[in-house]
Amino acid sequence: MADFFDDDNGLMEKAAGGRSQAFDALVGRRQHRLQRFANRMLGGDSGDAADVVAAAFVRLWEIRATFRQTGSVESWLLATVYRLCLDCLRNRSRCLTENLPQDEKGSPDASTVAGVVEAVALGEAVRQAIMELPESHRAVLILSVYEELSYEEIAAALEIPPGTVASRRSHAVAMLRRKLAAWEEGR
**Range with the poorest average pLDDT among 25-34, 53-62, 141-150, 177-186:** 177-186
Does residue 83 belong to any structural domain of this protein? yes
Residues comprising the chain, all counted: 187
State which of 62, 93, 124 marks the end of a domain.
93
Judge whether residue 157 has pLDDT over 50.
yes
Distance from C-alpha of 172 to C-alpha of 187, rounded to nearest angstrom = 23
Q: Identify whether residues 75 and 133 lie together within a single domain.
A: no
Report the pLDDT value the prediction gives residue 33, as an integer from 0 to 100.
93
Q: Average per-residue pLDDT in the chain?
A: 80
Q: Identify whether residues 72 and 116 lie together within a single domain.
A: no
HSE (side-chain half, CA atoms, 13 Å) at 166: 4
Judge whether residue 84 has pLDDT over 90.
yes
Report the pLDDT value the prediction gives residue 68, as an integer from 0 to 100.
77
Choose among 108, 122, 164: nearest CA to 139.
164
Does residue 102 belong to any structural domain of this protein? no
Q: Identify whether residues 71 and 115 lie together within a single domain.
A: no
State which of 93, 125, 158 marks the end of a domain.
93
State percent of the chain over pLDDT 70.
Answer: 76
DSSP collapsed to 3 states, the chain = CCCCCCCHHHHHHHHHCCCHHHHHHHHHHHHHHHHHHHHHHCCCCHHHHHHHHHHHHHHHHHCCCCCCCCCCHHHHHHHHHHHHHHHHHHHCCCCHHHHCCCCHHHCCCCCCCHHHHHHHHHHHHHHHHHHCCCHHHHHHHHHHHHCCCCHHHHHHHHCCCHHHHHHHHHHHHHHHHHHCHHHHHCC
Per-residue pLDDT averaged across 80-102, rounded?
Answer: 66
Q: Please name the amino acid found at residue 173.
A: V
Q: Which residues contact 62 (CB under 8 A, 6 or more apart)?
A: none
- Which range marks the domain in which residue 157 is found? 109-187
Q: Identify whether residues 8 and 83 lie together within a single domain.
A: yes
Distance from C-alpha of 179 to C-alpha of 133, rounded to nearest angstrom = 10
Distance from C-alpha of 126 to C-alpha of 107, rounded to nearest angstrom = 19
Report the pLDDT value the prediction gives residue 62, as an integer from 0 to 100.
87
Judge whether residue 186 has pLDDT over 60.
no
Judge whether residue 2 has pLDDT over 80.
no
- The domain tally of the chain equals 2
Per-residue pLDDT averaged across 33-40, rounded?
Answer: 92
User: What CATH number has the domain bearing residue 147?
Assistant: 1.10.10.10
* pLDDT tens digits along 41-81: 988 888 889 999 999 998 898 888 888 766 789 999 999 99
Q: Identify whether residues 65 and 140 lie together within a single domain.
A: no
